[in-house]
Every structure is written in structure tokens, then in C-alpha cells.
Amino acid sequence: MQALLILLGTGLLIGLAIGLVVKFFGAESDPLLDAINELMPGANCGACGFPGCGSYAAAMVKQTAKPGACPSMSEETIQKICRLLGVSEEKRERKVAVVFCSGDDEKATRRAFYNGVNNCRDAMQVAAGAKTCTYGCLGLGACARACPFGAIEITPKHLAVVHPDLCQACGKCVQTCPKKLIRLVPASAPIHVFCSSPDKGALKRSACKGACIGCRKCVNNAGENQMRMNGFLAVVNYGDPPPAELAKVCPTGALRSNIPQPKSATLSDGGKNV
Amino acid sequence: MSEFFRFYGGVHPKQEKLASKVAIASAPLLERYTVPLQMHIGAPAKLVVQKDSKVLRGQLLAEAGGFVSARIHSPTSGIIKEVTTCLGVTGTQWPAVIIESDGEDAPADPLTPIPDWQEADPTVLLKRIGEAGIVGMGGASFPTQVKLSPPPDKPIDTLVINGVECEPCLTADHRLMLENPEQIIKGILIVARILGVKNIFLGIEKNKPDAVELMSEKAKGTPIQVCPLEVRYPQGAEKQLIYALTKRKVPSGGLPMAIGCVVQNIASACAIADAVIDGTPLYERVTTVTGTPLIAPGNWHFRVGTLYEDAVRLAGGVNEDPAKIISGGPMMGLSVYSLQIPITKNCSGILLLSPSEVNQYQSKSCIRCGRCNDTCPMQLMPGILSIQIENERFELAETWHVLDCMECGCCSYVCPAGRPLVQHMRRAKTEVIARRQATAAAVKKNS
């Protein structure tokens, strides 16, 4: 009985003390900041240019940063934040990352066997990788490991593929890819040219069956300024992209839509011993 | 020599010096040479001849493209067929010129010989080394002229000559010492005159007793001290060689000139003597072509721009398909996937390995046995470093002196878990250097 009283009494006293300290010395909390913090995605990916979600939220409250810099926030959330801050919202276009390469094991040939660290950036230092096409995806998953959202998958045929529905366009993969194959493009664009090799058509064809061979069929069949040639490589004009049906004219399948596939393999075994 | 010359760590790989008894032969003239314009560390050389123009043997093809750069001379007489790119040992395309030989091999006017080099002004000798396009021929291909002009605040008192050839399989330097000792001695004395040093060490591993004996005999009456060294890889690494011979330690991140030393390879010394005494620019070098798949391994005087393919054909071709082709020695050489690569000024060997000699490693987890720590000549901790690097903690790797790693391969050689330690180190080094450059650029931009 005595023990119970001591315990309850101490508890009450400490509780009272804490309550008083908070009342007189407690840090002022900003209800606006708290509300915005609640809405942040919490991935701390750093794509907004701030160290994490908290510092970006604080900057928005101080009016030093605008809502909309976070690539992984939905339109709806941005509108909510705008309303909370009392600023007018700006329309922005959702972007996704795309790996501009078609060269999986079936299509692309290899010139050597690589036996070493299972990372593209390491493999790049050994004679620029094992693929015949020196511009192609190495398929060892440096981008997949860098992605904070798990949006990149290495297919069983060793090609990196971005799932557009999961991609938040933070751009981490863009910086990681040693072959500079990944770019951020508007999510609304229906088709892309999945090739990045500037080589001549015959050379590309011998190295990879999925390469853009520069036949110009797509450029001739597309509307004006929808596509153009950059050397031996067809390029989609993302300001005015051609319709998805144009993919039919491509003889190699380099021009195709980025259809989201179900995730087919775990990342852990991606690219082992190839 | 009763002194015990050695350094920390190191390993004893199998020697496999198949071509050590094969005298250096002269490679026959080829129909075409692919001369890369980047055979040295630093800026690529600037082409001074046009397509379809006629060139003579030893004629200047490209001028040095900067302070740290080197000239390139034509290996034979003929026509510049094409200004193009060629495959380099790094797997990337290098700018190159293709020379189609006219079969005459007519020499261009040589540079004026300096027969009285013992009295010549050191600056004249130094200028000649630059004119002849000489680079470090041991492997690093650093322009020799730059190496021999240390800043005035770094006085040089010791010249170390590297005749160690600690890489297994390679025999080019060994044969050169046996067959051209006088020229090497002259070259060493020219370098000593340029630097104004009296302390000259010539280090040779004890597994080449014939070379030690011959060089000691030829070096009589000169200030050159021939030092037989313990057989241990990497005895020929710059910092290890300096420590073994002088007991001086190069500070972390520093160059040998910080402790008053300059190291030269014996092949470079020979090329320097050729350039100064005969006026011949550097367009030819001794390269070992070896490996068990080859029918007749040997050493040849190859002109730069000879394709590996032609070198292998000269060595009798192969009796089984090689599983691996290495440019350089087995420990530090770069593996290449094609024989369409030209021999450069720093190519000391072409090594072919048969399928039975090539191991396909399955890298396992580090078992913390610490054998890599015992063998690392730079006294790093490769095992622990590699774990951090695998997790991309490059800042930590930098504070643990990953940049001191010289990629000698001792750690990978002894690792019982088959971990690709050197590859990890190489990755970390490039990432750390890239990060430093980015920081320096940002600082410059803000200031």
C-alpha cells in the first residue's frame, strides 16, 4: 500500500513538473509547419534541393521555397499545401525517369565475360563493361540500388526498367548511371526511343537487335516537329510527342511505349555473374 | 651487399618468366601501324600532320598538348592513311592515326646527337628528352621531362633506377639489361647529370643474378650502386623501392620528390641514352609477349602502333584459345577483350592466359582474417575498406587513405574469400577524386 502511494505520488509530482516546464519554457510549435510536415512524403530523397522533407517544409513556411519543388508529391497534396500557405498554386508537369536502352541479354551481344563487383559503376572501369555496345545498359543495378522508391527493376534479362507508376522523378538514378542512359521526361509522353548509341546504323545493328538504326521511318511518319534525327539516332520531341501508334513503323522496336509491367524479379539477384 | 633490402608486406606470386632466356628480336616491318595520340598521362598530343601526307621514320606526328604531355613520332615511313580512333586498353576509343608503310622505312633527319653529353648543359639534355617524346616506360607513362624538372623548393639528392621487374611473366627489362647494359648505364648517368645527383641506386631483384652481375661490372667506375633486392612483389613499386634502398618514406599523398628522390625505369634510361647520344626519338620499345597458350613466347623491339594481333602472330600464334588477354603483367595489367589494340610506349608486356589458368571467382563475405592487412605494402586495411566502399561510404574511405592504394593487387591475391578488393579500391579512388574535383570547382565558382 505504501509502495503504491509512493509510486502514484512521485508520478503525479513529475507529471506536474513536466506540465509546468512545458507551459512556461516549452518551444513554440508552429501549427502551420506541423500541418505541412504531415503532408510531406517523408522519403528524404533530397530531390527538392533540401537535406530532407523537414527542412523543405520549414523553408516553405518561411516563404523561401515554393511548393512544387518536391517531385514525389501529388497535385492534390501540393494544392493542400498551397491552401495552407495561402499562395497561388503553379501547374507543373509530372515527370518520370526512362532508361533509354533496349539491349537486354536477348537483343544485345557481349564482347567479354565480366567477373567482378556487381555494380555498374565498378564494371564501367573494366574496359567500359562487357556489352559490345559501349553505350548500353550494363544491367548490374546501380540505378535500382540508388532509387529510394524501388521504382527501378533489373529484368531477368539484365536490363534496367523504370516503373512509371512508382517513379517520383527524384533524379537519383540519373546521377548514378555511369552510361548516362537515364533522363527525366514528361510522364504524358506516350512513346520513347529506347536507344542512346550515336554510332552508325550497321554498327549498332551488329551490337544490338533492339537499337535505333536511324532509318528515319518514324521521323517521316510523325507529324511535323514531333520527332527529329540527332545524328544516327531518332529523338522524340517531348514538347509535342507523337502518338503511341507510331511505334508500329519502327523495324527494331526501339521506338515503343513505356508500358508498365508487373514487377517480375527481385532486385537482389539482378545481374549476378554475367 | 649484406644489407637487407625490403619493405612491408608483399606477396610471392609464381614467377612464370617463360621468355627470360629468349633474346630480344627485332619485329619485322608491318604494312600498317595504328599510332594512338594518347600514350602518356596528361593532355593528348596535338596532331601536326595531315591526312594523306607522307611521313618518315622518326618524324614528329604530334606535338605535346600541354605541360604534362609528350610528343609522338612516326614508327616508320609511309602515308597517313586515316586520322581516326582506335580501341585502347581502357576499353574506350582513343584518337589515333593509321600509317600505311611504304616498305622503305626511310628515316627522317634525326635530332642532333649530343655525343659530349658529359659536358653538355643539363637544360639542353632535358630539352632533348622532351623533344624525343620520352615517357616513363615502366607502365605509368608519365612524361619524363616533367618528372626530371622538380620545383626548386624540392631538392633532389637521390636517383633510384628501377630494374626490378617484379611483375611475374614479364622479361622485357631483364633482357634489355643483359643485351644493352652500356646504353642503360649512359642513360642513367645522363639523368643523374640533369638532376645533379651523386647518389644513384640501381635496384635489381635477386632472381636475375645474370643481370645483377653484368650491371655491377658495367657500373664499375661510375657512381651507380647496383643493389640486388629480395624477390618479393611489388618490389618495383616506386615507394617500396625507395624505402627498400634508402629507408625514406614517401608521405601519404606525396610524390617521391618530397623526400628528394626520383625514380626512373631502366627502359626509360635506355630510351634517354638513345635520344641524347644518337638523336633517336622514342618510337620503339621492348615488349614481352608471353603466356602458355603461345607457341613461341619472347621479347621483341616493337614499334609503337603495332597491333597486339601482329605481336601474337610473331610469337607463333596460339595453340589453344586464350581465356584472358592482359596488357601488362598479371598483377597490375589491364585485361582487354580484343587484340586490335596498339602497343603504346608504356606497354611492357602482352600476356595470354589459358582457360585452366583463369579463375572465375565467386566473391564471398569478408571473414576478417586480416591477411590483406599483412600484405598491403601501403599498410592500408583493404578488407575493412572494401566493406565501406561496397556501401558507398566514400568519405570514410577517403579518411582511411584509399588514395594511397597503388592497385598492386596483393590483397586480392591473398584474399581467401575471393573478394575483388582492388576493384573496390579503384572505384573508391575515382569517386573520391571526382568528389574532390567537384568541391574544388564549386569553391572556385563561389570565390
Q: How many domains does chain A have?
A: 2
**Which of B54-63, B73-82, B360-369 comes out lowest in average pLDDT?**
B360-369
Q: Which of B213, B248, B278 is the last residue of a domain?
A: B278
Q: How many domains does chain B have?
A: 3
Residue A63's pLDDT band (boundaries 50, 70, 90)? confident
Question: What is residue A266's predicted lDDT score, i.e. its pLDDT?
Answer: 44
- The 10 Å Cβ neighbour count of residue B436 is 12
Same domain, yes or no, for B50 and B131? no
Question: What is residue B5's predicted lDDT score, i.e. its pLDDT?
Answer: 61
CA–CA dist B249, B237 (Å, integer): 13
pLDDT tens by residue, B414-434: 999 999 999 999 999 999 999
Residues of A in contact with B432 (CB under 8 A): none
pLDDT tens by residue, B161-214: 999 999 999 999 999 999 999 999 999 999 999 999 989 999 999 999 999 999
Domain that holds residue B227: 122-278
Question: Per the domain annotation, does B18 fall within a domain?
Answer: no
- Residues on chain B bordering chain A, Cβ-to-Cβ distance under 8 angstroms: 89-92, 334-338, 360-363, 390, 420, 423-424, 426-427, 430-431
Same domain, yes or no, for A51 and A140? no
Amino acid identity at B163: G
Taking CA–CA distances from A120, the nearest residue in chain B reads B427
Question: Per the domain annotation, does B1 fall within a domain?
Answer: no
Question: What is residue B276's predicted lDDT score, i.e. its pLDDT?
Answer: 94
Grid-cell match 620503339, residue found:
B284
Same domain, yes or no, for A191 and A245? yes
A108-145 as b/e: b if 16+ CB within 10 A: bebebebbbbbbbbbbbbbbbbbbbbbbbbbbbbbbbb
Taking CA–CA distances from A123, the nearest residue in chain B reads B423
Could you tell me the pTM of the whole model?
0.84
- pLDDT greater than 90 at residue A45: no
User: The C-alpha cell of B442 is what?
Assistant: 564549386
Please give the full DSSP string across B156-182, using - where no structure is assigned: --EEEEE----STT--HHHHHHHH-HH
A187-226 as b/e: b if 16+ CB within 10 A: bebebbbbbbbebebeebbebbbbbbbbbebbbeebeeeb
Same domain, yes or no, for B80 and B225? no
At B160, phi and psi to the nearest 5?
-110, 125
Same domain, yes or no, for B207 and B313? no
Same domain, yes or no, for A101 and A202? yes
Residue A43's pLDDT band (boundaries 50, 70, 90)? confident
User: The C-alpha cell of A155 is what?
Assistant: 529484368
Same domain, yes or no, for A85 and A221? no
Name, in order, each residue with C-beta under 8 angstroms of A21's C-beta and a sequence gap of 6 or more. none
Question: What is residue A166's predicted lDDT score, i.e. its pLDDT?
Answer: 87
Question: Per the domain annotation, does B255 fall within a domain?
Answer: yes
Same domain, yes or no, for A111 and A233? yes
Same domain, yes or no, for A177 and A229? yes
- Residues on chain A bordering chain B, Cβ-to-Cβ distance under 8 angstroms: 111-113, 115-117, 119, 121-122, 125-130, 134, 273
Same domain, yes or no, for B404 and B323? no
Cβ contact B363–A126 (<8 Å): no
Same domain, yes or no, for A234 and A141? yes
Cβ contact A134–B91 (<8 Å): yes
Name, in order, each residue with C-beta under 8 angstroms of B69's C-beta and a sequence gap of 6 or more. B40, B42, B43, B44, B45, B143
Taking CA–CA distances from B430, the nearest residue in chain A reads A125
Domain that holds residue A63: 31-36+44-91
Chain A closest-CA separation from residue B430 CA (Å): 9
Same domain, yes or no, for A120 and A82? no
Same domain, yes or no, for B221 and B232? yes
Same domain, yes or no, for A99 and A80? no
- pLDDT greater than 60 at residue B10: yes
Question: Per the domain annotation, does B256 fall within a domain?
Answer: yes
Which of A51-65, A84-98, B423-437 has the largest mean confidence? B423-437
Question: Per the domain annotation, does A203 fall within a domain?
Answer: yes
Interface ipTM > 0.85: no
Same domain, yes or no, for A145 and A78? no
Name, in order, each residue with C-beta under 8 angstroms of B227's C-beta and a sequence gap of 6 or more. B1, B3, B5, B201, B202, B203, B204, B245
Same domain, yes or no, for B383 and B322? no
Q: What is the CATH number of the domain that holds A243?
A: 3.30.70.20
| Cα–chain center distance at B438 | 29
Task: Give the residues across from A162 on adjacent strands.
Answer: A152
Mean pLDDT of chain B: 92
Q: Which of B357, B391, B406 is the last residue of a domain?
A: B357
Question: Per the domain annotation, does A206 fall within a domain?
Answer: yes
